[in-house]
Amino acid sequence: MIKGLLKKDLYNLASYKVSLIIVILFCSLAMIGTDAIYWSSIVIGIIVGMISLSTFNYDEISKANKYILTLPPTRKEIVLEKYVLAICSMILGGLFGFGLTLLVGSLLNYLRPDDFVDISLDTLVSTSVGGMFGVALIQAIQIPSIFKWGAEKGRIQMFVIILFLALLISGIGFALDKMGSSLDIESLERIFNDFGLILLLLLSFLMYFISYKISYKIYKAKEV
Amino acid sequence: MNNIEVRNLSKEYDGFLLDNVSFDVPAGAIVGLIGENGAGKTTTIKALFNIIGFKGDVKIFGKDSKVYEKEIKKDIGALFDDSFLSDYLNCKHINKIMKDFYETWDEKKYFDLLKQFDLPLNKLVKDFSSGMKMKVKIAVAMAHSPKLLILDEPTSGLDPVVRSEILDLFRKYIEEDESRSILLSTHITTDLEHISDYILFIDNGKIVLDVPTDELLEDYGVVKCSEEDFLKIKAEDYVSYKKGKYQYAVLIKNKNEFKRKYGITTIDKPSIDDIMLFYIRGEK
């Protein structure tokens, strides 16, 4: 049953592919080859990772929820499918951001040896994983709110969440700066080295799990 | 044997109450669900699918619709006028998706129906006309040969020729297997005059009429008379009346009985629309 729902969402997303490729290429060209190269893996990861949420918009446009509830998939399966898609897009986004940054960065270094940008694999892994964790966090907050309030209101909320996170990170950076430290890629890498990838994975899993439980509770009682 | 049994179905919204609705949809029958906008037709259909919460009992194929929801839904084909899987799919995509939902999905039947409806396979549904969209929905609802079709406004947006073609399809679907049923909600009541076996009329959240279509069309009548003649008619002998400028139009339930009792021989045959209007707008 989940397979059918996944197919529906993937076919929907296929109509999105041209705009997605343009955005990714734009980001790649704008950021890769500059000092902000590592951020490009995060940005690309976020763009790809957040795409899955647009499937809610397609459902809303076609008022698909009412129809889907007449089909054999249960409400549990409908909610679960959205999480499977979200997690897959998060992983794909991370891998894609990592791969594209490495590929385009190396290509630019080859084409412009005078303007060589050093790409550290360790740092690239750390930033990509960091980006994936960020996507997981946004998705875990976002999906229950979309199930509750719908995609339109949910999108506004997404911007609020991103703005809040940006302000939070800036605030932490500002505080660290005042304390004589700084928030840079190296410190992010140190955090990963200290706490490890496993911890982040476990945290992501926990976030998704709690988020899924909340979403199911909301959707179980939802009348469309 | 009933494919749907609804007992004391109630649902309350702000300013609306679906009030203790009870009805059956027998096997081998097409039941037409009629009523004004907002009367409770779609709410009733949503309750059958557990799309909304409700009080009361709903049994489909003799099984509790809440307990056996998944199993039951495998044998139902549904259609909503305003809702579908997605508008960003083409007919081939839909086939690939639907065969994952229904073990009994019949690709050949689906594509045959699309061919019969002259629908393009590679065009996105969003680029279809409203009539074409409806045809896709009908093909999807019927392709897994369900035991029960629940259709909300299936002929809206279709021209008379296609409508007639679709109605023939529904009739054939029932004739193929007498254990099947159709619950069909529509505004185009002339469609029901041709194909329905029962009429279920819902008004303001209540069932006001649940009768065989033949009985409705044969036994009901409209008497047009003067005020003087109208005053002679006993209240229990008519359903409702409408007062015109020069005469009264009176809806009666039993033509033959009325003729015998009052000696009035000119009685018009009302359409389902007329009867519905008498019930909604008429006075008693």
**Domain containing A194: what range?**
2-221
pLDDT tens-place string over residues B36-63: 888 999 999 999 999 999 999 999 999 9
pLDDT tens-place string over residues B82-132: 999 999 999 999 999 999 999 999 999 999 999 999 999 999 999 999 889
In one-letter notation, the amino acid at residue A181 is S
pLDDT tens, per residue, chain B with 284 residues: 899 999 999 999 988 999 999 999 999 999 999 998 889 999 999 999 999 999 999 999 999 999 999 999 999 999 999 999 999 999 999 999 999 999 999 999 999 999 999 999 999 999 999 889 999 999 999 999 999 999 999 988 788 888 888 999 999 999 999 999 999 999 888 889 889 999 999 999 999 999 999 999 999 999 999 888 899 899 889 999 999 888 999 999 998 889 888 888 789 999 999 999 999 988 87
A192-A193-A198 Cα angle (round to 5):
60
Task: Please report residues of A whose CB lies closer than 8 A to that of B102.
Answer: 72
A120-A123-A124 Cα angle (round to 5):
85
CATH of B2-215, one of 3.30.70.100, 3.40.50.300, 3.30.70.120, 3.40.50.1980: 3.40.50.300
With H, G, I as helix, E, B as strand and everything else as coil, classify residue B87: coil
Task: Please report residues of B whose CB lies closer than 8 A to that of A56.
Answer: none
Task: Please report residues of B whose CB lies closer than 8 A to that of A63.
Answer: 80, 82-84
Other Cβ atoms closer than 10 A to A84: 16
- Chain B contact for A18, CB < 8 A? no
Number of CB pairs, chain A paired with chain B, less than 8 A apart: 85
Contact A1 B96 (CB under 8 A): no
Of B51, B74, B85, the CB nearest to A223: B51
d(CA B265, CA B3): 41
Of B52, B73, B98, the CB nearest to A70: B73
Task: Please report residues of A whose CB lies closer than 8 A to that of B73.
Answer: 70-72
pLDDT at B244: 87
Chain B, nearest residue to A15 by Cα: B88
Q: Count how many domains chain A has.
A: 1
Of B76, B84, B88, the CB nearest to A67: B84
A139-A143-A147 Cα angle (round to 5):
175
Q: Pick from A30, A25, A24: which is nearest to A44 by CA? A: A24
B17–chain A nearest CA distance, Å: 16
Q: Which of A59, A71, A81 to mutate to test the interface with B (most CBs of B within 10 A)?
A: A71
Q: Where are the domains of chain B?
A: 2-215, 220-281
Contact B102 A70 (CB under 8 A): no
Contact B88 A62 (CB under 8 A): yes
pLDDT at A31: 67
